[in-house]
Structure 1
């Protein structure tokens, strides 16, 4: 099988439906790009900033927060357009290196039971291999099924040694993190792109790319914390 990052991942494979609103930092992004419309995940890091993957960029992005079932009219939902899209200046769409993007929201969100921020890690903090983390999204459930679920799904997965992903030609241990269990078939996939890899209530990764079977590759958030903080400060009114 090809191990090239030509297929952004996205579906939660081998997971379960999340308890409604148990992950109040989750964002559902609707992206319009030229004639196409697609979706990604993301997560709220401050009252007016959401983080996602750079490969989720498009002409127009609408951010939905406080949502569980995307096909229902939920009272808890806040729908806010992205005012500014800041993909990492060194993002490489061939290798998916530096696959991270900050979205400045058009207005501040109302923080409440359904909408909350998630803490960033310390700059350059390393997640230990063997740590059990989780990811969530509205992407496909089985790699071969084009159908996507309406409700948020989640899956637990283990952070692996970088060696487990070194077979992928474009894997870069300083900007990427390797996770998922090849034996258990648990992974994220298309539609979950941009969603968080959460370890002990802190976001350590962003769903980035990988082959159809685990392990998957996540953007290593701690590497980018200085950049994220600098950009948020610069744009903060």
Structure 2
């Protein structure tokens, strides 16, 4: 299954999502999205930790190919995958990145709040997702500029009823089914780790989807992991 590109979307207004992090993995590890939840902590997908290359986080970026003012590039000091992450089923696909230095918050770099512990996201909620991933299922090229799209949260059954198909590892307690198949709007490869934002909170993380790039996609349900995130962050001293 391909991890999350923005398909059917548009270029985001520059710096309108100051919490977005561009997660760059050295040694040919590619890139992912992420989001800043503390001055020194970025949340991303565990499957982005695909190799041992060092990880750098770009904050305050819009076009990652040009040198923009106020952008901060910070090395990752420590990566903490969820202890129950399974790289075959992508269960518990969440990872915290502790940065070597605290980000300096400004107009272009800011935190995004998390949902409450186990806060539900009702089906038909329209949320938005953003990333620097591919912009079509046919293109191998990643986008230089941050793209965004509005997507609808679907019923769990929209993913579950295709039981033996691509969603046979779907677990409703830890993931959300997102993206109306009739609209063709979704995240895609290169967007993994970015946030699904509903009512200004980071409710989900782009995790995986079908190999043909059609929605719905599967997103890690952040509210399930809030206790783990909070407990882990307490131990991470700046």
TM-score by length of structure 1 reads 0.95
- The answer to whether residue 189 in structure 2 is matched with residue 194 in structure 1 is no
2:3/2:191 contact within 8 Å kept: no
Rounded to whole Å, the distance in 2 between the matches of 1:119 and 1:195 is 14
Rounded to whole Å, the distance in 2 between the matches of 1:95 and 1:140 is 23
2:132/2:146 contact within 8 Å kept: yes
Post-superposition Cα deviations, 1:15-39, rounded to whole Å, max 9, x if no partner, equal 000000000000001112xx42300
- Correspondence 1:7-26 to 2 at 5 A: 7-9=2-4, 11-26=5-20
Rounded to whole Å, the distance in 1 between the matches of 2:70 and 2:215 is 34
Cα shift at 1:181: 1.2
Which residue of structure 2 lines up, in the alignment, with residue 78 of structure 1? 72
- The answer to whether residue 23 in structure 2 is matched with residue 37 in structure 1 is no
Rounded to whole Å, the distance in 2 between the matches of 1:26 and 1:8 is 18
Cα shift at 1:76: 1.9
- Correspondence 1:112-151 to 2 at 5 A: 112-151=106-145
Unpaired segments ≥5 residues, structure 1 = 1-5
Aligned length: 229
Cα shift at 1:41: 0.2
- Correspondence 1:31-180 to 2 at 5 A: 31-32=25-26, 35-57=27-49, 58-59=51-52, 60-166=54-160, 167=162, 168-180=167-179
Post-superposition Cα deviations, 1:206-227, rounded to whole Å, max 9, x if no partner, equal 0000101000000000000000
- The answer to whether residue 207 in structure 2 is matched with residue 208 in structure 1 is yes
Rounded to whole Å, the distance in 1 between the matches of 2:116 and 2:218 is 20
Rounded to whole Å, the distance in 2 between the matches of 1:77 and 1:50 is 16
Which residue of structure 1 lines up, in the alignment, with residue 224 of structure 2? 223
Unpaired segments ≥5 residues, structure 2 = none
Cα shift at 1:7: 2.0
Rounded to whole Å, the distance in 2 between the matches of 1:21 and 1:193 is 19
Post-superposition Cα deviations, 1:127-158, rounded to whole Å, max 9, x if no partner, equal 00010000000000001101122110000000
Rounded to whole Å, the distance in 1 between the matches of 2:71 and 2:134 is 22
1:36 aligned counterpart, secondary structure:
coil
Rounded to whole Å, the distance in 2 between the matches of 1:137 and 1:161 is 24
Rounded to whole Å, the distance in 1 between the matches of 2:135 and 2:92 is 26
RMSD: 0.8
1:223 aligned counterpart, secondary structure:
helix
- The answer to whether residue 184 in structure 2 is matched with residue 185 in structure 1 is yes
2:29 aligned counterpart, secondary structure:
strand
